[in-house]
């Protein structure tokens, strides 16, 4: 020891004069004071900008979703339960929580010096020993409220400092009873439950105001670790923890020993009356609203779910309900149960999403895979109007320009030889007939004549996410390196429905926070003219024939006139079935709405199965039924253009002979001989030739 003192003295004798000369002691004091001041300023600014005065409004309000008429459609919440007032919490619960969690709550100013010191010592001990134990026990109820509402669960001195300053601000803005109420309404009780009211219903089937002494002690005991002490998963540990709480209540003079003894001997009886999903009625739409709020408006998922916003949307509740019910009906898909599907309906004039379903599933996964707006799919022939026929009209072609329809080769080396479905060939056909019957040869012929870049640039203009690798002639048939979503296709088709002006698809129109402040006043969407109104009218004229004379026959809604396009993609994985497909598409629109519907095989299902060809054999019933439900809810605006088939068909005596007249015009004698009987010809035209 003498040696150590001597060594220190020698070192100080050498460094002392330098230390005194340069006044390092004062410099250290100045640095410490500067650091302390800067930290204090930072924490004060953090506290003042946290909008603590809005905390009660934020915690008590649930985020609500409103439809296109301003009517409430449902609620969103995750770290939030049913909010109850102070006098709706039983005295038993209040006494139990204060006894076990913070007996000095009503005598503190937001934090406990002893508690912080104890937590700090435990934190240092854990760091030294390498322990992962939780350094708890240092937080008041106010600090726990602040931690849950504003901060993360990390254990650092920085977070603890923030917690203290915010707690002091909360204590200034709210009474003790309000702080206690906010704490219990924002507490986590395990098994998907937040808040004392929902916890009371989850575990005991009663309201928070009805909790008995034993029930209250059980819930209060769970607050430190719901996973360890909840009575569903760990009944013995829960009872033991309950008895600890009851003992503290006796020590805190909230119970007599006799009362505690009675409560300790009580058998825990569980009864679950909690309903967690009642307000999440439109999961596909609500998921999409959350995603748009995050991606477009910069909110976080936690903000959207827990900050009590009022989010006004483009939702049509009747359309959404009907579409969800349709997807639950296997008959809508001709009982092809190994295929997935998705559908989306847009307002043709402004791009607002009226309804959306992203898959066929029995149980919805929160913010899971939504095929309607996340899938990247080959669009098949539904892309032809965008990359072939609209650009052709812009370059002087007319809707009745004659196009070749016999097999030919294209490309520099003639290495691309497309075929029509069923290998059908005919004499030259007018352009409208080529579109409505979805012939492949005329489409590739036109794109080759105009140049692939023309079609590619048109697709980009229509908002489709193509890449340079898509600059091939197969673009005319929907052959893409990546793919498009039904939402992107529906958005593109709004240009045809709305006189050449494309409207960006969107869900949100306004967002108001819990205090009533409008944080989003108008949707961040845009409208872009992509084609002239004349081109749009002529495109509609051609696409009217799809559902009267072409590939959509049998799927049109009764009593309504619609335009659109169908499409399929080959299933290259099914080598044993040449007349099969992997994807089926239907685009349908009026002046009021655009609907995009897809049905297809995914993963292993595509390897061993195929969809039948023809819209009526796949999701034709869904297209027909859903449009018959949607269109009565619109303005029922009518097209101002006529179907080019009208004059041809007027000389025929019936709708059946109308279709036969078109068949006889479009298909040569050889094709007709190859078909065995009129019934088989009908199936071939509406099925094989259509996609």
CA dist., res. 554 & res. 686, Å (int): 8
- In a 3-state reduction of DSSP, which class is residue 511? strand
CA dist., res. 641 & res. 631, Å (int): 19
CA dist., res. 561 & res. 646, Å (int): 13
What is the DSSP code string of 588-649?
A: EE-SSEEEEEEEE--THHHHH--EESSGGGTTHHHHHHHHHHHGGGS--PPPSS--TTHHHH
CA dist., res. 363 & res. 383, Å (int): 33
Q: How many CA atoms lie within 13 A of 303 on its CB side?
A: 16
Asked if 548 and 686 touch (Cβ cutoff 8 Å), the reply is: no
Asked if 179 and 171 touch (Cβ cutoff 8 Å), the reply is: yes
Pick from 463, 486, 503: nearest CA to 587: 486
- Phi/psi of residue 72, each to 5°? -65, 130
Cβ contacts of 581 within 8 Å, gap of 6 or more? 568, 569, 570, 571, 610, 611, 612, 613, 691
CA dist., res. 194 & res. 209, Å (int): 16
- The tokens describing 457, both together, are 């640039």
Pick from 602, 601, 598: nearest CA to 623: 598
Strand partners, 587: 565, 596
Pick from 189, 149, 196: nearest CA to 173: 149
CA dist., res. 507 & res. 525, Å (int): 10
Q: What is the DSSP letter of 171?
A: H
- The tokens describing 658, both together, are 């109308």
Strands in 340-347's sheet, in edge-to-edge order, are: 353-357, 340-347, 593-600, 583-589, 563-569
Q: What is the DSSP letter of 49?
A: T
Strand partners, 612: 580
Asked if 438 and 550 touch (Cβ cutoff 8 Å), the reply is: yes
The structure tokens 């539904």 sit at 382
Asked if 170 and 179 touch (Cβ cutoff 8 Å), the reply is: yes
Pairing mode, if any, of strands 340-347 and 353-357? antiparallel
The structure tokens 């913010």 sit at 367
CA dist., res. 612 & res. 602, Å (int): 15
Give the burial string for 620-652 (b: 16+ CB within 10 Å, else e): bbbbbbbbebbbeebeeeebebebbbeeebeee
- Rounded to a whole number of angstroms, the distance between the first and last alpha carbons of the chain is 95
Asked if 231 and 256 touch (Cβ cutoff 8 Å), the reply is: no
- The tokens describing 610, both together, are 């195929």
- Phi/psi of residue 256, each to 5°? -85, 165
CA dist., res. 356 & res. 505, Å (int): 12
Asked if 347 and 630 touch (Cβ cutoff 8 Å), the reply is: no
- The tokens describing 554, both together, are 């049998």
Active site positions, annotated? 101, 381
């Amino acid at each position: 020891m003498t040696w150590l003192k001597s060594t220190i003295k020698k070192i100080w004798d050498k460094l002392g004069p330098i230390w005194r000369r340069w006044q390092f002691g004062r410099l250290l004091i100045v640095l410490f004071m500067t650091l302390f001041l800067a930290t204090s300023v930072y924490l004060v600014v953090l506290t003042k900008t946290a909008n603590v005065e809005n905390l009660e409004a934020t915690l008590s309000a649930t985020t609500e979703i409103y439809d296109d008429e301003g009517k409430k459609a449902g609620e969103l919440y995750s770290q939030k339960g049913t909010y109850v007032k102070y006098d709706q919490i039983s005295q038993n619960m209040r006494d139990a929580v204060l006894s076990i969690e913070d007996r000095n709550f009503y005598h503190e100013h937001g934090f406990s010096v002893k508690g912080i010191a104890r937590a700090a010592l435990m934190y240092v001990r854990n760091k030294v020993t390498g322990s992962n134990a939780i350094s708890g026990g240092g937080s008041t109820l106010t600090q726990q409220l602040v931690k849950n509402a504003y901060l993360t669960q990390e254990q650092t001195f920085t977070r603890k400092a923030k917690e203290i300053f915010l707690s002091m601000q909360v204590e200034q803005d709210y009474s003790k009873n309000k702080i206690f109420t906010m704490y219990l309404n924002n507490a986590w009780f395990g098994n998907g439950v937040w808040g004392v009211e929902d916890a009371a219903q989850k575990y005991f089937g009663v309201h928070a105001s009805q909790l008995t002494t034993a029930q209250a002690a059980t819930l209060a005991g769970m607050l430190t670790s719901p996973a360890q002490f909840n009575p569903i998963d760990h009944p013995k540990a829960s009872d033991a923890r309950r008895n600890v709480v009851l003992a503290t209540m006796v020590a805190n003079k909230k119970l007599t020993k006799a009362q505690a003894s009675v409560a300790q001997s009580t058998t825990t009886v569980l009864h679950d009356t909690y309903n967690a999903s009642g307000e999440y009625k439109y999961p596909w739409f609500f998921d999409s609203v959350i995603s748009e709020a995050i991606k477009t408006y910069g909110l976080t998922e936690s903000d959207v779910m827990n900050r009590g916003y009022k989010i006004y949307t483009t939702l049509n509740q009747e359309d959404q309900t009907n579409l969800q019910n349709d997807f639950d009906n296997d008959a809508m898909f001709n009982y092809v149960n190994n295929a997935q599907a998705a559908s989306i309906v847009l307002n043709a004039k402004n791009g607002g999403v009226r309804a959306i379903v992203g898959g066929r599933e029995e149980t919805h996964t929160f913010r899971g895979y939504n095929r309607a707006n996340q899938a990247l799919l080959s669009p098949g022939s539904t892309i032809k109007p965008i990359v072939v026929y609209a650009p052709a009209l812009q370059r002087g072609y007319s809707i009745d320009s004659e196009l070749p329809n016999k097999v030919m080769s294209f490309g520099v080396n003639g290495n691309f030889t497309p075929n029509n479905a069923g290998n059908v060939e005919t004499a030259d056909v007018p352009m409208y007939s080529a579109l409505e019957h979805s012939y492949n040869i005329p489409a590739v012929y036109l794109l080759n004549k105009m140049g692939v870049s023309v079609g590619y640039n048109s697709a980009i203009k229509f908002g489709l996410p193509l890449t340079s690798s898509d600059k091939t002639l197969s673009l005319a048939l929907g052959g893409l390196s990546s793919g498009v979503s039904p939402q992107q296709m529906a958005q593109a088709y709004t240009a045809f429905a709305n006189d050449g002006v494309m409207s960006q698809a969107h869900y949100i129109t306004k967002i108001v926070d819990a205090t009533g402040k409008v944080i989003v006043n108008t949707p961040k969407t845009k409208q872009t003219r992509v084609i002239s109104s004349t081109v749009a009218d002529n495109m509609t004229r051609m696409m009217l024939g799809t559902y009267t004379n072409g590939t959509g026959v049998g799927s049109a809604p009764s009593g309504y006139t619609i335009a659109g396009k169908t499409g399929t993609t080959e299933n290259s994985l099914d080598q044993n079935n040449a007349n099969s497909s992997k994807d089926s598409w239907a685009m349908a629109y009026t002046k009021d709405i655009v609907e995009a519907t897809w049905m297809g095989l995914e993963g292993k299902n595509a390897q061993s199965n195929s969809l039948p060809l023809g819209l009526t054999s796949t999701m034709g019933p869904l297209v027909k039924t859903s449009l018959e439900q949607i269109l009565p809810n619109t303005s029922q605006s009518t097209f101002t253009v006529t179907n080019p088939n009208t004059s041809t068909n007027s000389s025929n005596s019936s709708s059946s002979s109308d279709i036969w007249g078109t068949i006889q015009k479009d298909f040569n004698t050889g094709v007709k001989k190859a078909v065995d009987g009129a019934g088989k010809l009908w199936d071939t035209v509406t099925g094989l030739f259509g996609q």
